[in-house]
Chains A and B, each alone.
Chain A
Amino acid sequence: MRKSRITALTAVALAMLSFFVAACGSSSDNGGRSDTKTTDAASLKGQTVTLWIMNNGPSPVKDTQSLVKPFEAQTGIRVNVQLVGWDVQQDRIRDAAVSGTGPDVTQAGTTQVPFFAALGGFENVGDKVSQIGGQSAYAPGIWKTSTIQGQDGTFGIPWFTEARTIYYRKDALRAAGVDPKTAFTSEAALEATLEKLKSVTKLGGESIAPFGGPGKKAYDLVHNMMPWVWDAGGAELNDDATKSTINSPQAVQGVKFATDLVGRGLWDKSMLERDGTQVENEFKGGRLAVFVGGPWVLQSAKRPEDDTWSSAARRNVAVAPMPGGTDGSKGSTFIGGSNLMVFKASRHKDAAWALIKYLSQDRVQTDYANLMGMFPARLKPQEELGSSDPDHQAFYAAIKDQGRSYAPIAQWAQVENAYKNAFGQILDQSAGKGGLSDADIQSGLDKAAKEADGLLAQSAG
């Protein structure tokens, strides 16, 4: 009897072993892959570079494929463009970096670069930067996003840039009797404008609210809220990025500016139930007079196939720089965008770099920015696009004069999550209570600061 049990156990063990062997055997396929050690252009011919992109525009894959066509013809390198949604990209890129199985190049959000780089799965391309005109081809604030604070190395080449700014309806301002030149110069002016816009309840056949922004469902809620904090003299972290300052009195005042808009009925409460895209569509559909958005919204107004626009909104859309702070400061906006990173596990690093080099050419930068409704990352094409028309001028001014980003530290993505939760919660409560007291905001931000400090104290220990 014991013998039979042993036989059965042996069978089980054998079966398990065979399963494991099968599982281990299926590691990365080497079919057609060759390690390239030389940068000889001829040897790169016939290689395939897999590029992960996110949904940056209306048809990201098709647009990117058409953009790299000349590169493919020139070099004989095939570019395999794959779309990874913004909702899952952090997990996918992180897992690819850790497991060593993934594409060759990936797009990554500017604020994610330090975290991905800290995982150790990405190439330091610092020694190749001279081939694309060096650091001086980029604004310092934008170049900063390719590094990790306090460490040497360049891990992501800036690809495109975006900044948020005020969008408004010219016809709504006319109906409310507000001069667009002075409507948004300061936060006080913005508030006064929105108060006047309250009287405009219908426009172009649609009910219209003065202002709206998304709440807890917006993945970029922190980018939307930080400008108010910055304007009030607050900051997200202290100078050496070791402690959170999101609960400083200045930050509380900045957040209070936003919750007061909700409390006074200027910020349409129902927008807080929506995510960023849905709020954007409310503006495009003519149901919001003012909102804060990125350059892609402007671009989409020029695409007749984008049917989210109501004709009145499309005809009357205009942009203005973000309002200045209460103390007469110039105002601030979050400057974001994406960088390109090369995986350490890539077997086509030279071909991958050749692609990045191509995507960093001024003309290609401009073409892509236009396709996606973004801004180029490099200074020269930025200037060119910025001087093309008044609307683009407003964006260029925002990038140049008002743009701010966060400290490039590995834990930023997680700290941002903690802040996002707090902001979402605070906006939620302000919708329920009709505004919030300083003490309510303080306690919400205290919690976020505590959580962030815990994250900042993390070590590899």
Chain B
Amino acid sequence: MTTQTPPIVHGEPGDAPATPPPPSARRSRRRGRNLAYWLIAPALVFMVLVHLIPTLGGLALSFKNINTFTFSRLFGAPWNGFHNYNAILFDDANPLHSGFVDAARNTLIYTAATVTGTLAGGLGIALLLARSFPGRRLVRTLMLAPYVVPSFVVATLWGFMWQSDSGIINKVLVDYLHLFHDRPTWLLGHNSLFAIIVPSIWRGIPLAMLIFLAGLETMPRELHEAAAIDGAGPWRRFRYITFPLLRPLIAVQLLFGVIYSAYQFTIPYVMLGSNPGSDADLIMTLIVRQSFSNNLIGFGAAASTLLMFVMLIWVAFWFRAFRRDLEMA
């Protein structure tokens, strides 16, 4: 991409312009503003090109009837108004509707479980690692391991671990601990949603732990000491000191955690295939399958738009709920 070279402006930011002195202060202000526009222009152009235009394109496609026969015309495909949205949300006779309802339910459960598990696990481990004990640094480093493993590898590894006949998980549960009589099948039927939630939490915990650990390190000790002198036990100290001070960190992770989980694709796709089945199909696997395997790009675009709106609502809700924490932070 080529952009025109902006006019050369001498001097450092904050300095008085070096040469020549401006005839009036207003013009210098204007020139300063000009420079600012020039500086944000490339980023703005880029945002418009890679973000705004494709988003609008996707929105337009969601109102089109794209199928096997009209696929090659893409934007030239016939318009069909709100038909795609109606099919997804209200048309019980349309098989796409039941698929969407299943996927939405699974995504909700998956997101709630994954985010809760990740934050609770991360906080718990951070509290344990915040104490000093021999070998603490080694343990911390080891705890970070799941975070550096790519999602694809995580899903592949857990896919093998969950296998009912030869997977390590059933070996431990059935052969060593004798907790089950029959070998449970984790990757089929109702258990399959659980089978994608656990690795997602496992992979998410290290980052949450790291952030909480940083928060705990910066926490003023005096508060805890004062509370201890006043007779507060560990639980009350956590409840009234640690937790409130960590709220901003919880807030930020909640925001990103929910968005990241709602858009999860890799783990179910790698572990369970392009169609994880109605028990574990997520919105993203559904969209990809219907758009690209079944050429129903209009349906996929409509479902993506709905998901985007839900995420916008979530962000708005989040802002209302956590504004105070952010200001405090």
Contacts and interface: CB of A to CB of B under 8 A. Distances in A.
Interface of A: 1, 4-5, 7-8, 11-12, 14-16, 18-19, 22, 90-91, 94, 97-98, 115, 118-121, 215-217, 268-270, 272-275, 410-411, 413-414, 417-418, 420-421, 424-425, 427-429, 431-432, 447, 450-451, 454-455, 458-461
B68 A115 contact: yes
Nearest to B32: A4
B65 interface: yes
Contact of A270 (B185, B277, B289): B185
A18 B2 contact: yes
27 contacts: A5-B37, A11-B3, A11-B4, A11-B41, A12-B41, A12-B44, A15-B42, A18-B1, A90-B293, A91-B292, A98-B74, A216-B273, A216-B276, A270-B185, A273-B163, A274-B163, A275-B273, A411-B68, A418-B95, A421-B275, A428-B277, A429-B189, A432-B191, A451-B96, A454-B95, A459-B69, A460-B69
Contacts of A94: 71, 295
Contacts of B185: 269-270, 272-273, 431-432
A14 B2 CA distance: 10
Nearest to A273: B187
Contact of A8 (B2, B37, B98): B37
Nearest to B93: A450
Nearest to B69: A460
B94 A454 contact: yes
A288 to B, nearest CB: 11
Contacts of B49: 16, 19
Given A15-B4, A118-B68, A420 B190 contact: no
A217 B280 CA distance: 13
Given A98-B74, A216-B275, A424-B277, 9 more contacts: A4-B30, A4-B33, A11-B4, A11-B37, A19-B1, A19-B45, A273-B162, A414-B294, A461-B65
Nearest to B98: A447
B69 A272 contact: no
Interface string B272-304: 110111110000000001001111000000000
Contacts of B1: 15, 18-19, 22
A227 B289 CA distance: 26
Contacts, number: 141
Contact of B68 (A414, A425, A432): A414
A455 B72 contact: no
Contacts of B95: 418, 447, 450-451, 454
B40 to A, nearest CB: 9
Nearest to A274: B163
Nearest to B281: A421
B42 A417 contact: no
B183 to A, nearest CB: 8
Contact of B38 (A11, A420, A427, A451): A11
Nearest to A1: B30
B69 A217 contact: no
B244 to A, nearest CB: 45
A361 B293 CA distance: 34
Contacts of B37: 4-5, 7-8, 11
B165 interface: yes
A196 to B, nearest CB: 21
A372 to B, nearest CB: 25
Contacts of B3: 11, 15, 18
A21 to B, nearest CB: 9
Contacts of A217: 272-273
Nearest to B296: A414
A274 B190 CA distance: 17
A121 B71 CA distance: 12
A118 B48 contact: no
B264 interface: no
B4 A270 contact: no
A222 to B, nearest CB: 12
Interface in B34-63: 34, 37-38, 41-42, 44-45, 48-49
B67 interface: yes
Closest 4 pairs (CB-CB, A-B): A8-B37, A432-B189, A270-B165, A217-B273
B277 A121 contact: no
Nearest to A433: B189
B115 to A, nearest CB: 27
A458 B277 contact: no
Given A19-B45, A217-B272, A424-B275, A14 B188 contact: no
A460 B70 CA distance: 5
B78 interface: yes
Nearest to B183: A270
A426 to B, nearest CB: 10
Nearest to A411: B68
B275 A119 contact: no
Contacts of B30: 1, 4
A266 to B, nearest CB: 15
A216 B187 CA distance: 10
Residue from the set B34, B96, B275 with the largest chain A CB neighbour count within 10 Å: B275
Given A15-B45, A22-B2, A270 B163 contact: yes
B166 A16 contact: no
B131 to A, nearest CB: 41
B164 A270 contact: yes
A119 B68 CA distance: 8
A215 B165 CA distance: 15
B67 to A, nearest CB: 4
A418 B290 CA distance: 10
A120 B98 CA distance: 33
Contacts of B295: 94, 414
Given A12-B44, A428-B277, A447-B98, A98 B71 contact: yes
A18 B3 CA distance: 8
